[in-house]
Structure 1
Amino acid sequence: MKIGFSKDGLKLNQKDFNPLNIPLPIKGIGIESDIPAKQPDAAEILSVFQRPNIRKANRLQGIEILKSMLEKVR
């Protein structure tokens, strides 16, 4: 195994390494975090679609709808 360091980041065997792309679990290897994961409420996310005239939303309104969905996921 070759480990490389560059301005672009870490490389393993000449391939870019992203720790979020490794298949888990691999021989007991895992990713740990002290940030608690909060499950999003599906009903709350879908409530965004109850806005009036959502089908007639223009591009800017569509972006606002997506922003409000993402805020509810956080």
Structure 2
Amino acid sequence: MAKNQQNQPNKTAAGTDKQQVRQQNQQAAQKKQQQNQQAGQQQYGTEFASETDAQRVQEQNQKSEQKKK
């Protein structure tokens, strides 16, 4: 097996292509990172919306407009 690895330095003893495995790992890591970013953005939007009382904001805006006049 040692001779096989010397003849093909980019392969493991089992014959796996090291470069292909590295590329697959990199693609999987990038995909996971994108999914995590999207999940974080969705969570922020939901959290912000659930904490906002629309009627109270409208009342505050009306009071503010009245003070301006």
1 or 2 for the larger relative contact order (CA 8 Å, sep ≥6)? 1
Greater share of helix residues, 1 or 2?
2
The structure richer in strand per residue is 1
Question: Same fold by TM-score, threshold 0.5 exceeded?
Answer: no
TM-score under structure 1 length normalisation: 0.25
Greater C-alpha radius of gyration = 2
TM-score normalised by L of structure 2: 0.26
